[in-house]
Structure 1
Amino acid sequence: MLLHTFLFVFIAEMADKTQLMMMALTNRYRMKSVILGMILGVIIISAFSTLAGDLIGDMIPMQFIKLAAAAMFLGFGFFNLRITKEESKGHHISLGLPIFSIAFTFILAELGDKTQLATVALSADHMDQHLQVFLGASLGLIMANIFGIFAGKFIFAHLSEDSVKVVSSFFFFLFGSITLFEAYPAAPFFYIIYSILIISIACMIYEKSHKEIA
């Protein structure tokens, strides 16, 4: 059961939004912090999914969870476009409590995701093997996201600093928007207005930060 759960979750997580989020976070945090934060988030969400996953939706409305996740993704996207004077001189900026911030981001992204729902389903079908399901799901998520983290670090190492910021912010905006509209569907016209607004704000932040360090 452990191997079955591991393979199932590992394959389901590949190219998932959570994996891409971890890739993007390697641009903002040290790799060690991203990995530790991801592992902490995996342990928490896997435990919830295995033991009480079917109760999460009853305790916390899924729309609220998705709204919080979307707000965090969009916030990361805007924040990522800022260039501080320290960064322009080549110094790394370490944000407060990065491990816990990353863990919280991971948990929000995984709640209601296909890998979390798969873990809940496997746990429900194998009530006498909760430990194997938990370990398999945890290892599957950890290995898939470690792959994503190293891939992100490799890709970003071959891009210019500006390109890295734009690409990683694009991921944040994309999945933040998808998560938002999953919770609150809107008319097509609103999507256009929303996209113009996001792009305009992003451009203003990007241009302002460049002017400040010029």
Structure 2
Amino acid sequence: MDAFLSSTLAVAIAEIGDKTQLLTLFLVARFAQQRGAIVLGILLATLVNHGVSAWLGGWLADLIPESWIAWIVGLSFIAVGLWVLVPDKDDEEESASLKYGAFVATSILFFIAEIGDKTQIATVILAARYEEMLLAVVAGTTLGMLLANVPVAYFGGALMKRVPLDWVRRAACALFVALGLLSLIHF
């Protein structure tokens, strides 16, 4: 349960103000009547992306000497915590995939947007930390992604105006640093 809850909380907080929320706003503006298809696209893209990321994290944990894992995981969490303080840029461009509808466009664009993103890196780190519970990590990170993006799909701009992004980034930083410190202490 710890793997699931840690994964959910870490990704949900880290995702607030992330480029995928901006992408969600863009997709809702483009496909206003297809919010359900957008949510399903987010779900599919996240399951695939984070599933591969968790597998990679588990694989790396098998290769790395056990005495190093605590340091790598702990310091990686702290590094991701500091990284979330840096705001994302809206660098997504319109894609040819938009012509295939809301579900396909969302699936493709979300998958691409998550490559190398903070939440993908966090998934790799969480999987290395909870090597025996990869499904719980993927379920948690996917739920975290949905918790952060589904409200944007349905409530869009009004929600984004009420969330103080600087505060959220600081809270996400504190969460990741705390997870890093806990990882260092518990290993």
Q: How high is the TM-score relative to the length of structure 2?
A: 0.60
Q: Which 5+ residue runs of structure 1 have no aligned equivalent?
A: 56-68, 80-93, 156-214
Structure ID, larger Rg: 1
Say if 1:53 and 1:104 are closer, same or farther in 2 by CA, change over 3 A: farther
Letter in 1 for 2:93: L
Question: How many residues are aligned here?
Answer: 125
Deviation at 1:154?
A: 5.4
Letter in 1 for 2:121: L
Residue 124 of structure 2 corresponds to residue 120 of structure 1: yes
Residue 58 of structure 2 corresponds to residue 39 of structure 1: no
Percent identity among equivalent residues?
31
Residue number in structure 2 paired with 1:65: none
Matched residue of 2:147: which SS? helix
Q: Work out whether residues 45 and 107 of structure 2, in 8 Å CA contact, stay in contact via their aligned partners in 1.
A: yes
Residue 93 of structure 2 corresponds to residue 74 of structure 1: yes
Residue 12 of structure 2 corresponds to residue 10 of structure 1: yes
| Distance in 1 of aligned mates of 2:153 and 2:100 | 20
Letter in 2 for 1:150: Y
| Distance in 2 of aligned mates of 1:129 and 1:109 | 25
Residue 99 of structure 2 corresponds to residue 99 of structure 1: no
Q: Which 5+ residue runs of structure 2 have no aligned equivalent?
A: 60-89, 160-187
Matched residue of 2:50: which SS? helix
Matched residue of 2:30: which SS? coil
Q: Work out whether residues 18 and 109 of structure 1, in 8 Å CA contact, stay in contact via their aligned partners in 2.
A: yes
Say what the alpha-carbon RMSD is for the aligned residues: 2.7
| Distance in 2 of aligned mates of 1:136 and 1:96 | 29
Deviation at 1:52?
A: 2.4
Matched residue of 1:52: which SS? helix
Letter in 1 for 2:52: F
Q: Work out whether residues 8 and 143 of structure 2, in 8 Å CA contact, stay in contact via their aligned partners in 1.
A: yes
What whole-Å deviation, never above 9, does each CA across 1:153-173 have from its counterpart, x for those lacking one? 757xxxxxxxxxxxxxxxxxx
